[in-house]
Each structure stands twice: as structure tokens, then as C-alpha cells.
Amino acid sequence: MNGKEVDDFFHSAVRYCSVIESFDYNQDENKFKTLLVSLLDLYSKALNLPDVEPGKSRKVNVSLPQINFDKYEYYWEVFNPYKKMVNLYAAV
């Protein structure tokens, strides 16, 4: 798939990635504005991408690592964030 819209999206994505990667080191006072402008540009270019119909499916072989968690396979305790709040209201 080639076209002006795809090229524009690609270049906008590269600009956005460079803004993100240099964000911590950027001393510019308007770095948040620059980030917002590059994100909005990327989003608008994504909206202009051409519609693509899926072609014939291709089987992709992806090997996933097998991890053995043994005793860590299950949760030992289920965290209830409201438990303390309920106790606080009961005490009032």
C-alpha cells in the first residue's frame, strides 16, 4: 500500500516518536504544546489513511516463551480496595 496519505502518516509518526523520545531532555518551554501538536497531527493523518480490505489470510508462526510460574500461578490473596473504607464507615 503506497500513497500520499500513507507517506504523510509515516512522516508524522516519525516526528511524533522523536518528540516522545526527546521529551525528558527537551528544555523548551512549549514542549507540551509541541507534543500536543504532533499527536494531533498524527491522529489527523491516521484518519486520512485509505480503507484497506483484508486480503487472503496468512498464517504467521510466532513462538511464545513457555514460562513456568509453579506456585506463583495463582493469586494468594485478592485485594479489596474498599475493605478499609467499609471499616472506616462502620466505625463512624
- What does the domain layout of the chain look like in residue ranges? 4-47
Contact present, 14 and 58 (Cβ < 8 Å)? no
- How do residues 26-65 score in pLDDT, each as one tens digit? 777 888 888 899 999 999 999 999 888 777 777 878 887 7
Residues 6 or more apart whose CB falls under 8 angstroms from that of 19 comprise 26, 34, 35, 38
Total Cβ atoms within 10 A of residue 12: 19
Residue 46 has phi, psi (to 5 degrees) of -65, -35
User: H helices within 22-79, ranges in order?
Assistant: 31-47
The pTM of the full predicted model, rounded to 2 decimals, is 0.54
- 8-12, 18-22, 27-31, range with the lowest pLDDT: 27-31
Ranked by mean pLDDT, the top range of 18-27, 52-61, 65-74 is: 18-27
